[in-house]
Amino acid sequence: QSVLTQPPSVSGAPGQRVTISCTGSSSSIGADYDVHWYQQLPGKAPKLLIYGNNNRPSGVPDRFSASKSGTSASLAITGLQAEDEADYYCQSYDDSLSGYVLFGGGTKLTVL
């Protein structure tokens, strides 16, 4: 089955910029399906961070942005803050088999 590959961990100091990659395949991101991003704070349910490749829901700071190109996508966080320390997941869709929702394995962001 198809997968979305994310780095297990990234880190950065307060104020810095970090990026998290999400690599799919020709049957997922490469098939032009949207990529969405979720933030999961410790002990909490995931929260929608970015939808439709690069759209922020109301209340999400503009420090968070995302892009998509080819079979990959990336999430960028600028002006890193301690409260950004969390797990981040990308999500898309795979049209192989009968079609299904696909999550990346998640990336743990550590704010140094």
Partner 1 sequence: QVQLQESGPGLVKPSQTLSLTCAVSGDSISSGVYFWNWIRQPAGKGLEWLGRIYSSGSTYYHPSLKSRVTLSVDTSKNHLSLRLNSVTAADSAIYYCARQSPGTGIGDWYFDLWGRGTLVTVSS
Which residues form the interface with partner 1 (CB under 8 A)? 1, 31, 33-34, 36, 38, 45-48, 51-52, 57, 89, 91-93, 95, 97-106
Minimum Å gap between C-beta 64 and partner 1 is 15
Which residue's CB is nearer to partner 1, number 15 or number 70?
70
Quote the least distance from Cβ 102 to partner 1, whole Å: 7
Q: Cβ closer to partner 1: 9 or 16?
A: 9
CA distance 32 to 41: 29
Structure tokens that stand for 57 in this block? 């829901």
What's the maximum distance between 2 C-alpha atoms anywhere in the chain?
Answer: 44
As given in the structure block, the two tokens for residue 110 are 């550590």
What does the alpha-carbon distance between residue 43 and residue 59 come to, in Å, rounded to a whole number?
21
Judged by CB, which is closer to partner 1: 17, or 101?
101
Beta carbon of residue 23, minimum distance to partner 1 (angstroms, whole number): 15
Which CB atom, from 35 or from 111, has the smaller least distance to partner 1?
35
Q: How many Å apart are CA 14 and CA 4, to the nearest integer? A: 28
- In three-state secondary structure terms, 84 is helix
